[in-house]
Amino acid sequence: MAEHVPDVHGDCDARFSAVRTAFEENFRERGELGAAVSVTVGGETVVDLWGGWADAGRTRAWERDTLVNVWSTSKGPTALCAHILADRGLLDLDAPVATYWPEFAAGGKEGVLVRHLLSHRAGLSGLREPHALAEFYDWELTTSRLAAMEPWWEPGTQSGYHAFTYGFLVGEVVRRVSGLLPGAFLEREVTGPLGVDFTIGLPEKEAGRAAELVQPPAASASEQAAIFSQLSPAAIAALANPVLGAAEANSPEWRAAEIPAANGHGTARAIAALYGVLAGQGSYGGQRVLSPGAAERVREGQGSCRDLVLGAGLGHETEIGLGLWLSGPGGSYGPNPRAYGHDGFGGSCGLADPEAGVSLGYVMNRMGPHIADDPRKMALIDALYGAL
């Protein structure tokens, strides 16, 4: 029997009623627990909806300002920090990383360029030595281990998704150039001035607004063994050193840490605004964050390939720009192959389509099992483009 569909709150322009219908269907047909979706067109918000429950026990309603950990959807705002510095002439994306971070030249990495970090081509998808979750909370330890290690593959030749290391690598370059960790830099330069409800990590005073993440049903031991048998050492290092899930992300320790690839917390409205900077060719809300040329550079494709970490699960070639994934022929971010965005572990998404002037933010707390293109996200994107 279909579950009761919770009340959906917020506003939706009549032209985009299909997005509201798809959002409601996510609860009725696709197991949604609590979620929100926001869409901007030409910088104007046309969809801003939320509904469901903020906890597994269904005791707290999802509110207008409910925050949730969006996992890798955080990578877009983190990449934005580097692009702001590059736009100001303070960071050269074609320079060796060691120009800014001298220790990084160890392990044969003297030729690794900043663009290789942004495009998951540095060969540092995960650490070679066991790295406990508590060690991820130690910025200096994690970045020093990354600086010392040898790459898993020849940097610059292929992408291999840097699931957690991405934020430390790009983030340390941001810190070396600006003197600020990405969370503080983003607040100073973007979220503060624009009034965007998004942080890297979660300030303790905001804990009462945070939704509880809910893990998808676990694969059986035999299914897990089959999955791991297909993975390379570089992929295992990226995805299972350490193993993380909803329980860890709900902890105060995770929320307090600086993990720019994976512990951004925000609303769908905030995600739509941050990706709206890119959809608006560098401007949002009447404020310029990037020059048009710098915004365009974010989606500069670095070469299509079968990703060395996610390739087995995706089953097709993909292309990453300088921080975000291109929609490509698969239409991950709508029918425009040059639209771009980022998915988060379990289902969340940020999308920018400059040609259509569209941005979308989708956040949820019941994590799905899909590596990318969660059916809930795709239903919302299909409805959006059907209405344009």
Work out the widest C-alpha separation in the chain, in whole angstroms: 60
CB 266 within 8 A of CB 67: yes
Taking residues 300-311, report their average pLDDT.
Answer: 96
Taking residues 280-305, report their average pLDDT.
Answer: 97
Instruction: Please report whether residue 147 resides in a domain.
Output: no
Instruction: Please report whether residue 305 resides in a domain.
Output: yes
Instruction: Please report whether residue 313 resides in a domain.
Output: yes
Q: What is the pLDDT of residue 3?
A: 55
CA distances to 69, 180, 193 from 189, rounded to whole Å, are 21, 11, 7
> Over the stretch 165-192, which tens digit does the pLDDT of each residue have?
999 999 999 999 999 999 999 999 999 9
Q: Which domain holds residue 323?
A: 8-78+183-387
Taking residues 86-113, report their average pLDDT.
Answer: 98
Structural domain count of the chain: 1
Confidence of residue 5 (pLDDT cuts 50, 70, 90): confident
CA angle (201, 206, 208) in 5-degree steps: 120
Q: Supply 339's token pair.
A: 């639209």
**Which residues are annotated as catalytic?**
72
Taking residues 269-280, report their average pLDDT.
Answer: 98
CB 222 within 8 A of CB 374: no
Q: What is the pLDDT of residue 319?
A: 97
Instruction: Please report whether residue 89 resides in a domain.
Output: no
> Over the stretch 193-245, which tens digit does the pLDDT of each residue have?
999 999 999 999 999 999 999 998 888 888 888 888 889 999 999 999 999 99
Residue percentage of the chain with pLDDT more than 70: 99
Q: What is the pLDDT of residue 1?
A: 38
Q: What is the pLDDT of residue 260?
A: 98
Instruction: Please report whether residue 1 resides in a domain.
Output: no
Q: What mean pLDDT is reported for the chain?
A: 96
Cis-peptide, bond into residue 96, ω within 30° of zero: no
Instruction: Please report whether residue 176 resides in a domain.
Output: no
Instruction: Please report whether residue 373 resides in a domain.
Output: yes
Eight-class DSSP state of 96: B
Mutual angle of helices 165-178 and 139-148, in 10-degree steps: 100
Confidence of residue 56 (pLDDT cuts 50, 70, 90): very high
Torsion of CA 306, 308, 312, 313, to 10 degrees: -90
Q: What is the pLDDT of residue 88?
A: 98
> Over the stretch 350-388, which tens digit does the pLDDT of each residue have?
999 999 999 999 999 999 998 899 999 999 999 999 999
Q: Where are the beta strands (DSSP E) in the chain?
A: 8-12, 34-41, 44-52, 68-69, 198-200, 264-266, 283-284, 287-288, 325-326, 340-343, 349-353, 358-364
Taking residues 109-126, report their average pLDDT.
Answer: 98
Instruction: Please report whether residue 102 resides in a domain.
Output: no
Q: Would the pLDDT of 140 be above 80?
A: yes
Q: Would the pLDDT of 24 be above 70?
A: yes
Q: Would the pLDDT of 117 be above 90?
A: yes
Q: Residue 29: which CATH number?
A: 3.40.710.10
